[in-house]
Chain A
Amino acid sequence: AQKVTQAQTEISVVEKEDVTLDCVYETRDTTYYLFWYKQPPSGELVFLIRRNSFDEQNEISGRYSWNFQKSTSSFNFTITASQVVDSAVYFCALSEGETSGSRLTFGEGTQLTVNP
């Protein structure tokens, strides 16, 4: 069965600090997809990134970067030079195989608070 673990329940940083959110996953499938979603205080879920299991290349998008390591079943998310607007709950998620739809298994989420 698939499982996503985000061990960090809450993280608090001061603006401009770098912060890394950890995500560890479990799956028996060789084909799977990993995601990060952001849930700001307004409540909606916002897609950030999708990565498939065959692409271990790290990705950078502005201040965001993602580190995917199959050897440790981890897909960590780093925010560089954090800003107050980054304050949100961040969810890591997993979907297995080439299903007919996106059945995502979410982690418990990490509440990030960026203080001015």
Chain B
Amino acid sequence: EPEVTQTPSHQVTQMGQEVILRCVPISNHLYFYWYRQILGQKVEFLVSFYNNEISEKSEIFDDQFSVERPDGSNFTLKIRSTKLEDSAMYFCASEIRFTGELFFGEGSRLTVL
């Protein structure tokens, strides 16, 4: 069964460092998302991406964040200069069309020290 894959599963970084989280969405899907979940809290929307551009972003997704689909298969989230409060589980998701039936990856846990 097709699935969304994310790497790395866990990354530890120092405050101020750049981090890139990678995702391979399901191949025929057209909409891509990043969500995050701070430990023990709810899942929060970060950004949606369609037709090679950001379609919507939340207030969390400030200038420190960027997304890219560099090669037609990978979908990346970059955090330019990490802060302690960026520590969270980051989920990539995709869907074939707008239905809300998102297919989530298993997440990348980011720990900022």
Contacts and interface: CB of A to CB of B under 8 A. Distances in A.
B44 interface: yes
A107 B42 CA distance: 6
Contact of A99 (B42, B56, B58, B103): B56
B104 interface: yes
Contact of A108 (B41, B48, B103): B41
A102 B102 contact: yes
Contacts of B107: 43-44
A45 B100 contact: no
A72 interface: no
Given A103-B56, A108-B41, A44 B102 contact: no
Secondary structure dominating the interface of B: strand
Contact of A106 (B42, B49, B56, B99): B42
Contacts of A35: 100
**Of B41, B50, B58, B98, most A-chain CB atoms within 10 Å:** B98
B105 A44 contact: yes
A33 interface: yes
A45 B42 CA distance: 12
Contact of A47 (B33, B44, B55, B102): B102
B110 to A, nearest CB: 14
Contact of A44 (B41, B49, B106): B106
A102 B50 contact: no
Given A43-B107, A108-B42, A102 B55 contact: no
A109 to B, nearest CB: 6
Contact of A102 (B43, B58, B89, B98): B98
B65 interface: no
A88 to B, nearest CB: 14
B50 A101 contact: yes
Interface of A: 33, 35, 42-47, 50, 91, 93, 95, 98-109
Closest 6 A/B residue pairs (Cβ): A101-B48, A45-B104, A106-B43, A100-B55, A44-B106, A102-B100
7 contacts: A45-B43, A100-B50, A101-B98, A104-B102, A106-B42, A106-B43, A109-B43
